[in-house]
Amino acid sequence: MSGAIGAKLDRVDGRAKVTGVARYTGDWGLPGLLHAVLVTSPAGPGRVAAIDVDAASQTPGVVAILTHENAFPPPVEVEAPGAEGVVPDSRTVLRSPEVLYAGQPVGVVVARSLEAAIEGAARVGVVLDPRPPQLDLEGSGVDGIFAPKSIYGMEPPDSERGDFERGWREAAVRLDVRYSTEWEHHNPIERHTTTAVWEGDRLTLYDSTQWVNGVQDDVAAVLGLPVENVRVISPFVGGAFGSKCETWPHTICAALAARHVGAPVRLEVTRQQLFGLVGGRPQTRQRVRLAASVDGKLMAIAHDSLNDTSARGDFVEPCAVPTRMLYSCPNVVTTHRLNRLDIQTPTYMRAPGHATGTFALESAMDELAFALGMDPLALRLANYADHDENLGVPWSSRELRTCYERGAQRFGWERRNPELGSQRQDGCLVGWGMATANYHTLQSPASARVKLTADGRAEVRCATLDFGTGAYTALTQVAAEVLELPPDRVHIEIGDTDFPWCPIAAGSQTMASVGTAIALACQKARQELARTGRREVEVEARSEPTREKKWSSHAWGAQFAEVQVDPELGTVRVTRFVGAFAAGRIVNPKTAHSQLLGGIAMGIGQALLEEDQRDPRWGRVVNADLAGYLVPTQPDVPDIEVILVPEADRLVNPLGVKGIGEVGITGVAAAIANAVFHATGKRVRHLPIQIEDLL
């Protein structure tokens, strides 16, 4: 059916989800299934001096207890050989008495019921020899502040063009400010869960993940198995946005427990354990220097970023990457540095680096506009980049100017009174702020298999994931478009390593990568059908993106926020929000709207609510639940208007798609902070913004 792409198709998996037919990781019923619960370290770092399992082993229903003493057959190496690419938290779990961070698994209790496993785990006595944790990002750390080798193996940690010092000296207006963001943590609706089943030396994992092929590789490496002996299944995932990109220790523990007891084992991580076990967004400390002429033209930009990482992992939050290309400026320098602290390894969290980095850069641009007496939007337009000055190549497409115009018009930006504290409503101070949104477009190799059946249906299989983003639906539309079939005659199966290989479902790359592979496979199937005349054909195709940097591809947006601040209580409410976005060809406007709206809501949480708090004595998260760790709920989120700006891009990939999962959160925190300044005259340079900042 021509026109399937671009239609507001309802989610094809929606009925299965709301009726309970969809099977998530915790829904797979297996004969003889046992339940496992983790025992985690109450503090860290340190060393386990003793583990008392006597009381736990006598708990009715408890079958086995695993610790570092019996989880691996001797001799046990501290790190799994050949597992260098695995997050270090999983390479070392249950291999030695060494504890690197509070919340690290030190034992697993397996029982015939979940209740018995919970009770047994509570009865395990852990005697720890602790060391004082190093948690100060700007302190000495474990090894001192250092430069990483690269950013995700894709970009250098530092960049420089032009002569920053000269541009800084010659500028009429200079700004040198520091910003900070605190730990944020993932809280998907579906907690991290793994069910492990052994058949001889073959292992099947039902795992809540964003990358079945990644889990397959990681588990094989840690356990010393051939990759082909590990199968990972995950057809439905109940939320993620980065938390399920890595293979975390619980997955390894589930596999070890199932091997130990010789039966299927399901391990569900508790909500409280997630805070100490699964990485989140790291802390950042950022310094931004802007220099401009009297008419607002940027003459020099410097953006230096520091984030924490774990004692053995090198995770970079690439805060300064957007600064390299977002605005036109002849002299730009950026740096990224790390400091090892006694924490679990940080991980990707929706728009890693871009969400935190745009807070600093876009707040600084607002501060520069105020210093110059310019409108914040006018300053951005004065420094509009007509090409990527970092790479020296043109944009594949860039409708950012249209985003500014459409968003400002809908928001009513022209009515903004620049005087601080000049707007009031219902006894509250009212402020308006704006910021630029940006996220780079990624594409990786991907494969897909298509079978055309004699009754005029198409079956599509690939190993990608859908964790609520709408991939099932959008990929169905791609296949329907190319095959000229109604969407209800296309059946998509995903989330199984037995299906053709796909990249991680992260980085807003699924449509560009997997969608392209499905389109190629469908084209190949049609050609095969026409060539052979057979009633049924089955083909497989692989997409290979170009690695030549002939152009620069990004999704763009403009964020506009209105806040009300109670002058006596210091409370901040976002009362209105408009986001305008250009992200290439939109496969499904309905699911795209939902993704962008969700990104803005998550940005409100980043700006005003979310923060891990750690006990400096023991290193553990003290607000490790949804009562203490605040996320946006209905009263926190206003009516959000999302504008989809048409953008044709014939260069980015054959489908012309970019990616929308992450651009929606970028710039949100800055727009809110800028609105708070406009309302109160108080510039808050750290997240989350708190009542104490405004009293």
Residue 140 token pair: 């000495």
Q: What is the pLDDT of residues 625-635, one digit of tens each?
A: 999 999 999 99
16-38 pLDDT per residue, tens: 999 999 999 999 989 999 999 99
Q: What is the pLDDT of residues 334-366, one digit of tens each?
A: 999 999 999 999 999 999 999 999 999 999 999
548 classed as catalytic: no
Output the six-digit token pair for 382: 């004065």
pLDDT at position 472 is 97
| pLDDT for 2 beyond 80 | no
Give the C-alpha separation, 327 to 296, whole Å: 12
**For residue 82, what pLDDT is reported?**
85
The pLDDT value given to residue 20:
94
Q: Which helix (H) or strand (E) holds 66?
A: strand 62-67
Structure tokens at 154: 């894709």
Phi, psi at residue 625, to the nearest 5°? Answer: -165, 175
What domains appear along the chain, each with residue ranges and CATH number?
14-22+444-543 (3.30.365.10), 32-131+189-240+244-277 (3.30.365.10), 159-183+280-341+349-441+550-694 (3.30.365.10)
Give CA–CA dist 494/236, Å, rounded. 9
Arithmetic mean of pLDDT, 141-156: 93
Distance of alpha carbon 421 from the chain centroid: 36
What's the whole-number mean pLDDT along residues 572-586? 98
Distance CA 50, CA 34 (A): 26
Does this model's pTM top 0.75? yes
Residue type (1 letter), 166 = R
Token pair 């620069």 is found at: 552
Separation of CA 656 from chain center: 23
- Tens-place pLDDT, residues 407-422: 999 999 999 999 999 9
Query: Considering only CA atoms, which of 540, 473, 482 is closest in space to residue 2?
Result: 482
3-state helix, strand, coil in the chain (%, to 5): 30, 25, 45
Q: Say which DSSP state 295 is in.
A: T
Which residue shows structure tokens 């953006």? Answer: 303
Provide the percentage of residues in the chain whose pLDDT is more than 90.
96
pLDDT value, residue 549: 79
| DSSP code at position 285 | E
pLDDT at 634: 92
d(CA 45, CA 50): 15
- The confidence band for 546, taking pLDDT boundaries of 50, 70 and 90, is confident
- Answer whether residue 1 shows pLDDT above 70: no
Structure letter (DSSP) for residue 353: T
Distance CA 154, CA 149 (A): 10
Q: Are 349 and 242 in contact (CB under 8 A)?
A: yes
Q: Please list the residues that pair with 537 across neighbouring strands.
A: 452
CA atoms of 253 and 267, how far apart (whole Å): 8
Q: Are 150 and 156 in contact (CB under 8 A)?
A: yes
DSSP 132-153: -----TTS-TTT-SB--S-BTT
- Distance between CA atoms of 161 and 159, rounded to whole angstroms? 7
Q: Which of 572, 531, 558 is nearest to 673 (CA)?
A: 572
Which tokens hold the place of 52?
């008392």
The token pair at 662 is 């992450």
CA dist list (Å): 48 to 69, 310, 488: 11, 19, 57
Tell me how far CA of residue 415 lies from CA of 379, 412, 418, 656, 667, in angstroms: 17, 6, 9, 36, 21
Give 157's pLDDT tier (boundaries 50, 70, 90).
very high
Rounded to 5°, the CA angle 401-405-406 comes to: 115
Catalytic one of 317, 362, 562, 662: 662
pLDDT above 70 coverage of the chain, percent = 100
- Torsion angles phi and psi, residue 591, rounded to 5: -70, -30
Mean model confidence pLDDT for the chain: 97
- The structure tokens listed for 156 are 């250098």
Instruction: Indicate the DSSP class of residue 402.
Output: H
Rounded to 5°, the CA angle 617-248-198 comes to: 135
Contacts of 584 (CB under 8 A, 6+ apart): 397, 441, 555, 647, 648, 649, 652, 656, 657, 658
Residues 362, 435: contact at Cβ < 8 Å? yes
Which among 388, 403, 377 is positioned nearest to 296, based on CA atoms?
377
- Could you say which DSSP state residue 511 is in? I
Q: What is the pLDDT averaged over residues 373-402?
A: 98
Average pLDDT over residues 593-603: 98
**Peptide bond just before 148 cis, omega within 30 deg:** no
The candidate with the shortest Cα–Cα distance to 194, out of 255, 236, 277, is 255
Residue 252: partners with Cβ closer than 8 Å, 6 or more residues away: 90, 93, 94, 219, 222, 223
Confidence (pLDDT) at 75: 86
- Report the pLDDT value the prediction gives residue 76, as an integer from 0 to 100: 86
Question: By three-state DSSP, how is residue 618 classified?
Answer: coil
610 within 8 A of 630, measured Cβ to Cβ: yes
The CA distance from 591 to 595, in Å, is 6
The whole-number pLDDT of residue 141 equals 86
